[in-house]
Amino acid sequence: MNKKTKILIIVIGFIFFAFITFKNFKKGKESPQVLKKQEIKTVEKANFPKLTEKSERVKRGENITAILTRNGLTRAEAYTMIQEVKKTYNLAKIRAGNKFKIIKANDKFIKFIYYIDINKYLEVKRKENNFSSKIITIPYTTKKSIIKVKIESSLFEAILKENEKPELADILASLYDYDVDFNRDLRKGDVLIAIIEKKYLKGKFVKYGNIIASSFINNGSRIDIIRYRRKNGEYGYFHPDGRAVKKMFLKSPLPFMRITSRFGWRRHPILGFSAKHNGVDLGAPVGTKVRATASGTIIARGYDRVRGRYIILRHPNGYRTHYYHLSRYASGIRRGKKVSQGQIIAYVGNTGRSTGPHLHYGVQKYGRYINPLTLKSPSLKPLSKLEIPAFKRYSRKIIRLFNEIIVFNMNQREINKEISNKLNTISPHFL
């Protein structure tokens, strides 16, 4: 073996040794890292909590303690949570029918969600033995839309015909509560136009928002109503001349009904002789909600053989209203309690001297009974002289849109194409 061959063998051997050494070094260096990653995955898998979510509604007569204890909290823990959350929301006020959620991790209570109303919910988080809480506003997207309906038989059917939700009929009817009785004043061919807000969540329609403005042509007469923010920041509904839509009395204590007996002399259906009828009888199914037509104080609540279950309210300026033949009273209704206009005070029944389910509704002024159907109710809180100029400039823009729809007799498709984009020309400050 010559000298060159020996050198070549030594070099090859050195290279081979260096390669093996480097490979083993790299393997030794990486192995702990690979092992560490595997260990992490195993640990994560072992410790990853199993989340469960349960949705329910508050049952009639159920309180918050009962809800929490049957969902994993002890009575002591439930008490602690109620007290710590009280600064955010009083859980004693939960209402039957409202939705709530219980979230657990590995079967341990960690979160409680209660939907206060359609706009917001309460979120309570548990961390060891403490509870944090906050009220969250549901992030709706609001869009403005113009609708037009033509009355053939009822507002309800007209709304459905335009593929709107039935609750819109109640919203629009309540807007005209002071000016129109939708049970007896509607005529075939009446037209209602409204600019409304629609609320969307994740692209899906959820509910209607405010009515921005409305125009109702009823039996040839036109009633325009506009929502406006006053200088004190409060919103209200007004006619174009600045008169407040809200009046002292609603037109009717029932949202939808039929008149079965009018005010004045009549032949009594049970006694068989003529007698003065000091009110109107409104036919409606048992259980229909009865509203206070004006704000006032309950001065009588009771039962007798003639009136059945009854309520009498006292109002300002010498007025009293009477509600007879009730099936039951609303929660909290008792003598001496103050009620607000539109508040549910009772439910239609057939008690006392009655031939069928109905509400007897009467109105007194300084002790004398007057006809509820012809009562001229005064407007409340009109716009001030300082507010009128800005309001009229704003209202003229809306009236101009309504006039265009009416004059050209536009259908819904034409409105969507020609008018809807003009809503942007109206100051958003007031919308």
Shared-domain flag, residues 172 and 236: yes
- How high is the pLDDT of residue 31? 44
For residue 273, what pLDDT band results from cuts at 50, 70 and 90?
A: very low
- How high is the pLDDT of residue 45? 52
Q: Which domain holds residue 206?
A: 141-247+380-425
For residue 26, being part of any structural domain is answered with no
Distances 104 to 47, 49, 52 between C-alpha atoms, Å: 15, 9, 5
Question: Which of 102, 137, 172 finishes a domain?
Answer: 137
How many domains does the chain divide into? 3
- How high is the pLDDT of residue 129? 82
Shared-domain flag, residues 152 and 216: yes
Question: Which of 103, 137, 171 finishes a domain?
Answer: 137
Shared-domain flag, residues 176 and 212: yes
For residue 290, being part of any structural domain is answered with yes
Stretch among 178-182, 242-246, 384-388 having the lowest mean pLDDT: 178-182
For residue 223, being part of any structural domain is answered with yes
Shared-domain flag, residues 262 and 311: yes
Q: Are 226 and 245 in contact (CB under 8 A)?
A: no
For residue 4, being part of any structural domain is answered with no
Question: Which of 151, 215, 161 shows the shortest CA–CA distance to 186?
Answer: 151
- How high is the pLDDT of residue 361? 97
DSSP string, 357-412: SEEEEEEEETTEEE-GGG--PPB-SPPPTTTHHHHHHHHHHHHHHHHHHHHTT--H
Stretch among 14-23, 47-56, 179-188, 204-213 having the lowest mean pLDDT: 14-23
| Backbone Cα Rg of the chain | 35
DSSP string, 81-106: HHHHHTTT--GGG--TT-EEEEEEET
Shared-domain flag, residues 241 and 170: yes
Shared-domain flag, residues 265 and 367: yes
Shared-domain flag, residues 346 and 407: no
Q: Are 162 and 156 in contact (CB under 8 A)?
A: no
Residue 317 DSSP one-character state: G
Q: What is the CATH number of the domain that holds 164?
A: 3.10.450.350
For residue 22, being part of any structural domain is answered with no
Shared-domain flag, residues 175 and 240: yes
Q: Residues of 340-358 as b/e, b for ≥16 C-beta within 10 angstroms?
A: ebbeebbbbbebbbbeebb
For residue 215, being part of any structural domain is answered with yes
pLDDT in tens, 216-249: 999 999 999 999 999 998 999 999 999 999 999 9
* CA 83 remoteness from chain centre: 28
For residue 200, being part of any structural domain is answered with yes
Stretch (H or E) spanning 36:
helix 3-47
CA angle 337, 342, 346 (to 5 degrees): 60
For residue 229, being part of any structural domain is answered with yes
pLDDT in tens, 96-149: 999 999 999 999 999 999 999 988 999 999 988 899 999 999 999 999 999 999
- Give pTM, 2 decimals: 0.67
Shared-domain flag, residues 346 and 267: yes
Q: What is the CATH number of the domain that holds 278?
A: 2.70.70.10
For residue 258, what pLDDT band results from cuts at 50, 70 and 90?
A: confident
Q: Are 81 and 73 in contact (CB under 8 A)?
A: yes
Shared-domain flag, residues 198 and 107: no
Q: Residues of 223-255 as b/e, b for ≥16 C-beta within 10 angstroms?
A: bbbbbbeeeeeeebbbbbebebbbbbbbbbbbb
Shared-domain flag, residues 122 and 166: no
Shared-domain flag, residues 341 and 287: yes
For residue 418, what pLDDT band results from cuts at 50, 70 and 90?
A: confident
Question: Which of 137, 163, 186 finishes a domain?
Answer: 137
